[in-house]
């Protein structure tokens, strides 16, 4: 990697200030950024580590009963501390990467990166979560803007993510065999006012909502409700690991499995 400065602020305010420098880059758990630096694919002048900011860590229940997760909370912590409040979310966190990734990687880092095959974007979009930053609050529906692209401004930091807790939910991930990211991952959540279905891994545009399935499942929360639907292969990723037809097919299979496994 190229040489860089590193700062380890202990408050959000200090972090935001530190990020004002030219070519400064926020560093969460580093599970994507560090390998990128090692390959010399990025050249920040300064890294601002968010992992020492106490106010950005941990899981709690908000006033409205929503699960609030600090942006610098690791996947391992979410898998433990959210389990009682939002089991489907905790289960998703417990299957990201491997133990090393889960002990370092953070929810804020994952959502800020918005890898098209990552798991957390499906949970956030599927739950209609709110992304809290140092300066504003962004609804998940407005946050994801395409592969590796989000509504975050330069230097903006995800401080917290708030998940409304559904009646039932489940995440089904079909693994890309090499990377073990999601070849297709589907998050299904049933709320009093309707069902949300979010798909990761499949689309060239990153995570998306399968609205036809949401409508069908909101009327009848049963896997059979999507039998008559089909997903277009247009815009689906096609690579060594799966054709676009195959990914489109898997969206439906994983949706049905997620509905069946919802609890």
Binding residues (CB under 8 A) for another protein: these are: 39-40, 174, 177-179, 183, 239-243, 245-246, 249-250, 253
Q: Please identify, using beta-carbon distances, which residue of 137 and 148 lies nearer to another protein.
A: 148
Both tokens of 82, joined, read 């959210």
Smallest distance, another protein to C-beta of residue 53, A:
30
94's tokens:
């417990």
CB of 134 to another protein, least distance (A): 32
Q: Select 40 or 193, whichever has its Cβ closest to another protein.
A: 40
CB of 185 to another protein, least distance (A): 13
> At its nearest, how many Å lie between another protein and the CB of residue 240?
6
Taking the complex as a whole, the smallest distance from the CB of residue 259 to another protein amounts, in Å, to 14
Between 61 and 253, name the residue whose CB sits nearer to another protein: 253
Q: List beta partners, residue 144.
A: 150
- The residue among 142 and 239 lying less far from another protein, judged by its C-beta, is 239
Nearer to another protein, 85 or 249 (CB): 249
Residue 236 CB, nearest approach to another protein (Å)? 12
Residue 102 in contact with residue 74, Cβ under 8 Å? yes
If the CB atoms of residues 46 and 241 are measured against another protein, the closer one turns out to be 241
Q: For the chain, how far is it from start to end, CA to CA, in angstroms?
A: 45
The smaller minimum CB distance to another protein, of residues 43 and 139, is found at 43
Burial class for 3, CB neighbours closer than 10 Å (0-12, 13-18, 19+): exposed
Shortest separation between residue 246's beta carbon and another protein, angstroms: 4
CB of 245 to another protein, least distance (A): 7
Q: Output the DSSP codes for the chain.
A: ----EEE--SSHHHHHHHTTSTTEEEESS-TTHHHHHHTT----SEEEE-TT-GGG--EEE-TTS-EEEETT-BHHHHHHHTTTT-HHHHHHHHTSS-HHHHHH-BHHHHHHH--TT-SHHHHHHHHT-EEEESS-EEEHHHHB-STT-BSPPTT--EEEEEEPPPSEEEEEEEEPTTT-SEEEEEEEEEETTEEEEEEESSBTT-SEE-HHHHHHHHH--SGGGGTT-----TTB--BTTB-HHHHHHHHHHHHHHHHHH--
Nearer to another protein, 177 or 224 (CB): 177
């Amino acid at each position: 990697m190229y040489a860089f400065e590193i700062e380890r602020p202990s408050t959000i305010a200090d972090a935001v200030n530190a990020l004002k420098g030219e070519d400064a880059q926020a560093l969460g758990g580093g599970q994507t950024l560090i390998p990128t630096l090692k390959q010399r694919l990025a050249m920040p002048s300064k890294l601002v580590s968010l992992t020492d900011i106490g106010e950005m860590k941990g899981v709690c229940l908000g006033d409205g009963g929503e699960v609030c997760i600090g942006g610098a909370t690791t996947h391992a912590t979410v898998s433990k501390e959210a389990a009682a409040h939002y089991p489907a979310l905790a289960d998703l966190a417990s299957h990201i990467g491997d133990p090393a990734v889960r002990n370092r990687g953070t929810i804020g880092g994952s959502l800020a990166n918005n890898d098209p095959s990552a798991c957390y974007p499906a949970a956030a979009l599927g739950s209609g979560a709110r992304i809290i930053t140092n300066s504003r609050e962004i609804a998940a529906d407005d946050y994801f803007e395409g592969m590796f692209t989000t509504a975050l401004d330069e230097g903006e930091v995800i401080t917290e993510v708030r998940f409304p807790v559904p009646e039932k939910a489940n995440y089904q991930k079909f693994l890309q065999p090499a990377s073990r990211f999601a070849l297709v991952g589907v998050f299904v959540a049933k709320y009093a006012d309707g069902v949300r279905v979010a798909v990761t891994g499949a689309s060239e545009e990153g995570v998306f909502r399968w609205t036809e399935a949401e409508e069908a499942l909101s009327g009848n929360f049963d896997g059979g409700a999507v039998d008559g639907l089909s997903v277009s292969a247009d815009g689906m990723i096609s690579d060594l690991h799966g054709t676009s037809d195959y990914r489109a097919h898997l969206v439906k299979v994983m949706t049905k499995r997620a509905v069946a496994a919802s609890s």
